[in-house]
């Protein structure tokens, strides 16, 4: 009898998946998000918020969206959490193969082209927007922007994710060539904080990283210490 009741209840559930099931339980995990990277003389500075949402529900408030794919190459992920994690894992695997075959560190451009190949060839099936940033001995610090669809463009700075739509004007007005590491850190932290204030899908804390020939230095700004831009 219990088995019969279970089968009847399951058939009702399968016929109408939305029946008495909250929207956040069936929505995809999205890193819908604010990501950013900027080049400076000695390398790159990049950062992101830490909110992962499932529909309107915040599934994780301390996500790390800055993913290492090689010793001196990172990517900033936005879009579907599952899609971007899978892409980053593939790129890390192929970069390891490339390094073993050539006995040399991969360039940032090669990494960006691997991201482009995966994103473009699977553009109809993936929701992934990537910023590839790193340092190599040929071109120094580099930032490559890969928006939805798989286009790949090197830029002096790049922003992405749902929160980026709120800060294009701020970034265009604030960015200047030849910024120091400290100026770049302030540029990134201020921009991400502004986006987090306006965008409901961005939030949590700010994760920052400085990547140079000496390696990567990570830092965090907790949610109660974010930059503010109004009178208290």
Residues annotated as catalytic are 33
* Tokens 């921009």, residue located: 191
C-alpha to C-alpha distance for 44 and 144, rounded to whole angstroms: 11
Taking the CB of residue 66, how many other CB atoms lie within 10 A of it? Answer: 23
Contact predicate 141/44, CB 8 Å = yes
Residue 41 C-alpha from the chain's centroid: 23
- Contacts of 7 by beta carbon, 8 Å cutoff, 6+ apart: none
C-alpha to C-alpha distance for 40 and 44, rounded to whole angstroms: 6
Q: What share of the chain is helix, strand, coil (3-state, %, to 5)?
A: 40, 30, 30
The backbone region for 44, taken as left when phi is positive above 0, alpha when psi lies in -120 to 50, beta otherwise, is beta
| Phi/psi of residue 60, nearest 5 degrees | -150, 130
CA dist 16 to 19, 22, 154, 209, 226, Å? 5, 13, 46, 45, 43
Taking the CB of residue 230, how many other CB atoms lie within 10 A of it? Answer: 5
């Amino acid at each position: 009898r219990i088995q019969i009741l279970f089968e009847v209840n399951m058939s009702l559930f399968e016929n109408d998946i939305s029946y008495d099931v909250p929207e956040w339980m069936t929505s995809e995990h999205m890193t819908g998000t604010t990501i950013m990277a900027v080049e400076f003389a000695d390398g790159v500075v990049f950062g992101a918020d830490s909110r992962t949402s499932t529909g309107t529900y915040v599934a994780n408030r301390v996500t790390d969206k800055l993913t290492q794919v090689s010793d001196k190459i990172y990517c900033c992920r936005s879009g579907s959490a599952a899609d971007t994690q899978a892409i980053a894992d593939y790129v890390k695997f192929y970069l390891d193969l490339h390094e073993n075959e050539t006995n040399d560190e991969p360039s940032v451009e090669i990494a960006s082209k691997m991201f482009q190949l995966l994103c473009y060839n699977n553009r109809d099936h993936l929701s992934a927007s990537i910023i590839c940033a790193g340092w190599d001995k040929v071109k120094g610090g580099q930032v490559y922007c890969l928006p939805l669809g798989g286009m790949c463009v090197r830029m002096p700075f790049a922003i992405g994710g749902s929160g980026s739509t709120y800060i294009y004007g701020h970034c265009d007005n604030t960015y200047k060539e030849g910024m120091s590491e400290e100026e770049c850190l302030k540029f990134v932290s201020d921009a991400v904080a502004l986006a987090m204030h306006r965008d409901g899908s961005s939030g949590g804390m700010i994760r920052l990283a400085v990547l140079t020939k000496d390696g990567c230095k990570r830092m965090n700004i907790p949610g109660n210490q974010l930059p503010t831009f109004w009178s208290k």
